């Protein structure tokens, strides 16, 4: 019977939410990653947001490692890649939205220190519902492969 309590507690924690936040999002951050960048310059954040609940809207993000974070949409126009800021990014109910190279991304503006391979960039995503989601962008040379690293986006799984 010694194991009964911890197991029950862990199951409860999992059922409630994988996050510490008092007002956790129904949104899961899958494979958050970033690229190497110089201090003073701009970094980037990529992630797929998977919504297990009602429709919500990403309204912003912040990280202690940059002066501010903007949501940008990239598009090709006349052979030139352009970026336009977006104030709101809808995350459909039971749907997902991807921030990925060549498309949407989070721009980490005014980096306070360089981002090197293997670094982790903590950030908080804010949603119109009032929910927030903590993520850690792992600095990598290229996009992580799908698969076993599915859990990386869950910042506060019990025991991790
Ligand atoms: Cu940008």
Residue 62 Cα to ligand 1 midpoint, Å, equals: 15
The residue written with tokens 């982790």 in the block is: 120
pLDDT for the residue numbered 125: 97
Residue 54 Cα to ligand 1 midpoint, Å, equals: 28
- pTM (predicted TM-score): 0.76
Express the helix, strand and coil content of the chain in percent, nearest 5 each: 10, 50, 40
Residue 86 Cα to ligand 1 midpoint, Å, equals: 10
Residue 52 Cα to ligand 1 midpoint, Å, equals: 27
Residue 28 Cα to ligand 1 midpoint, Å, equals: 22
* CA 143/CA 49 separation, integer angstroms: 15
pLDDT for the residue numbered 75: 87
Residue 107 Cα to ligand 1 midpoint, Å, equals: 5
Residue 46 Cα to ligand 1 midpoint, Å, equals: 11
Q: What is the pLDDT along the chain (160 residues), one digit of tens a residue?
A: 454 555 555 555 444 444 444 456 799 999 999 999 999 999 999 999 999 999 999 999 999 999 999 999 998 888 898 999 999 999 999 999 999 999 999 999 999 999 999 999 999 999 999 999 999 999 999 988 875 444 444 444 444 3
pLDDT for the residue numbered 81: 87
Domains and CATH numbers, the chain: 4-153 (2.60.40.1890)
Closest CA to 31 of 137, 124, 106: 137
């Amino acid at each position: 019977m010694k194991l009964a309590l911890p197991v029950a507690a862990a199951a409860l924690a999992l059922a409630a939410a994988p996050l510490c936040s008092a007002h956790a999002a129904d949104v899961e951050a899958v494979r958050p990653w970033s690229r190497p960048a110089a201090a003073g310059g701009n970094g980037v954040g990529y992630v797929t947001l998977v919504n297990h609940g009602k429709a919500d809207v990403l309204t912003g993000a912040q990280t202690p490692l940059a002066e501010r974070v903007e949501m940008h949409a990239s598009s090709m126009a006349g052979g030139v890649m352009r970026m336009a800021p977006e104030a709101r990014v809808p995350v459909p109910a039971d749907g997902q939205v991807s921030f990925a190279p060549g498309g949407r991304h989070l721009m980490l503006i005014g980096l306070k220190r360089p981002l090197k391979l293997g670094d982790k960039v903590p950030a908080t995503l804010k949603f119109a519902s009032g929910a927030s989601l903590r993520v850690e962008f792992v600095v990598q040379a290229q996009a992580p492969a799908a698969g076993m690293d599915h859990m990386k986006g869950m910042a506060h799984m019990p025991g991790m």
